[in-house]
Amino acid sequence: DSGVTQTPKHLITATGQRVTLRCSPRSGDLSVYWYQQSLDQGLQFLIQYYNGEERAKGNILERFSAQQFPDLHSELNLSSLELGDSALYFCASSVAGGTADTQYFGPGTRLTVL
């Protein structure tokens, strides 16, 4: 158990809908990362937050947005969902988001868009 929690574990929804995925980092970690893993694809980095501020942006679609709250938990919002958004979404956290920081991954949220 990495100490990173993600809810829900599974989510099934329809195209065009909007969902929110939630992540609580390990106690004391200030940085949160979001990743997408689609079928037969590697991990795609979406976005990183550090202490409430956006630090780095990867291949995140405009339909997706994220935020990190004062209590350091983070939410990833996915809107106008398409079939291709079906994937496993991981959240990870690290102490400070520095160059040599280890990232600790949560169990993931599996999103299925029908």
CA 71, chain centre distance (Å) = 16
Establish if 89 lies at the interface with another protein (CB under 8 A): no
CB of 108 to another protein, least distance (A): 6
Contact 97, 31 (CB under 8 A): yes
What are the DSSP calls for 35-59, one per residue?
EEE-TT--EEEEEEEETTEEEEE-S
Establish if 48 lies at the interface with another protein (CB under 8 A): yes
Residues numbered 59 to 88 that lie near another protein (CB under 8 A) are none
Establish if 114 lies at the interface with another protein (CB under 8 A): no
CB of 102 to another protein, least distance (A): 4
